[in-house]
Amino acid sequence: MQQITDARIEAKRPPLLRLAFRPFFLLGTAFAVFAIIRWIWVLQGWISWQGYLPAILWHAHEMLFGFVLAIVIGFLLTAVQTWTGIPGLRGSPLGFLVASWFLARAVFWISPEISWFAYWLPDILLITSAAYFLASPIAARRQWKNLPFVPILLTFALLHSAFIYGLMTDSLQLARASLMSVFWLVLLLISVMGARVIPFFTARRWQIEQYREPQWLGMGLPLGFLVILITQFLSPISIAAELRIGAELCLACGLSWRLYRGHHKNN
């Protein structure tokens, strides 16, 4: 990575708050370990679940928003520094994001019988603030090709809001649909990033020309993921299932084609 920060200023900051991936990768991974252990204990009946939030929904929400989202935010807010040449988020603003993440995890972990607003707010602050800090350097350098990651983050916020609304209105179907949509949103993000980094590192490793993905495939795969994401909320409509199955088949073919075309056999 190019040197775009002042070493003297950086030395005054806590090492954990000098790059976004440091606290989020560390805390996200540690949280996942403890959350999985707790979930196993609940499933085995070794401890009882006393929370206000249903245990299975706590587990699903926290694996997606507590662990996966932490890794996503840490990666994007670190990568944007390389993309734009503008120093990435660090210091107090990064500390604010980490504090918002930690507060959200504490509320969901304890799961007290309090207003749903208290469950909603910390994650919303985390996601919307991260989206702003990601968008600012991208807009400053006019790197519009990287801007789609901002609405992807904002979609996390929208689906988190739908999840909380489902709990608030006793609509467990809406809460589950929201979490399933987050799952597909994560797969969409992995697909977009994989299309960038896998051909790059493959070409570097084998000293070959980098595979260039056809434009129709690069646009069609995200569209397929979006169709599946949206139809999660349309299950009462009969055609929704057919649309979702069709999109899943198209995704299977498209991703298989990407894998085949990107394969390099070392002779």
| Tokens describing residue 35 | 């959350």
**Amino acid 267: pLDDT:** 42
Q: How far apart are CA 241 and CA 174, in angstroms?
A: 16
Q: How far is CA 193 from CA 31, 87, 135, 197, in A?
A: 24, 21, 17, 6
**Amino acid 169: pLDDT:** 95
pLDDT mean across residues, the chain = 90
**Amino acid 1: pLDDT:** 44
Type of residue found at 201:
F
Low-confidence ranges of the chain (pLDDT < 70): 1-12, 235-238, 263-267
| Tokens describing residue 48 | 């009882």
Domain regions of the chain by residue span: 1-170, 186-267
**Amino acid 195: pLDDT:** 87
Type of residue found at 40:
I
Query: What is the Cα gyration radius of the chain?
Result: 20
**Amino acid 22: pLDDT:** 96
Answer whether 84's CB lies under 8 Å from 76's CB.
Answer: no
**Amino acid 179: pLDDT:** 95
